Copies of this chain bind each other. A is one copy, B any other.
Amino acid sequence: MLVLITYDVSLIEGDGKTRLRRVSKLCQNYGQRVQNSVFECHIDAAQLASLKHQLIDIIDPEKDSLRFYQIGNQYKNKVEHIGVKKSLDLDSPLIF
């Protein structure tokens, strides 16, 4: 199923950048970045549970937030993108 994951990581204090990088890297293992803090993941329920568990371990729940939207399998006509595409993943090395 398609699961949308959105996150806010607070950069106001100390280790926010580290948490943000770790959240981003972890989500990359499960899906595709479509906007700066938005990932689309084609995963099953077990993978979702595992990803959620790992993300909860990374974030600071008093400063950051995660949202999970289970879009299901019939998503083709439910998702629309307008504007520039997220074509580069700035956290990853460019490999040609």
Could you say which residues of chain B place their CB within 8 Å of the CB of A64?
83-84
Could you say which residues of chain B place their CB within 8 Å of the CB of A77?
70
**Cβ–Cβ contact B68 & A80, under 8 A:** yes
Which positions in A face B, CB cutoff 8 Å? 4, 6-8, 10, 34-38, 52, 55-56, 59-72, 77-86
Could you say which residues of chain B place their CB within 8 Å of the CB of A82?
52, 55-56, 59, 61, 65-68
Could you say which residues of chain B place their CB within 8 Å of the CB of A62?
83-84
Supposing A6-B38, A35-B6 touch, asked if A66 and B78 sit within 8 A by C-beta, the answer is no
**Cβ–Cβ contact B59 & A83, under 8 A:** yes
**Cβ–Cβ contact B78 & A70, under 8 A:** yes
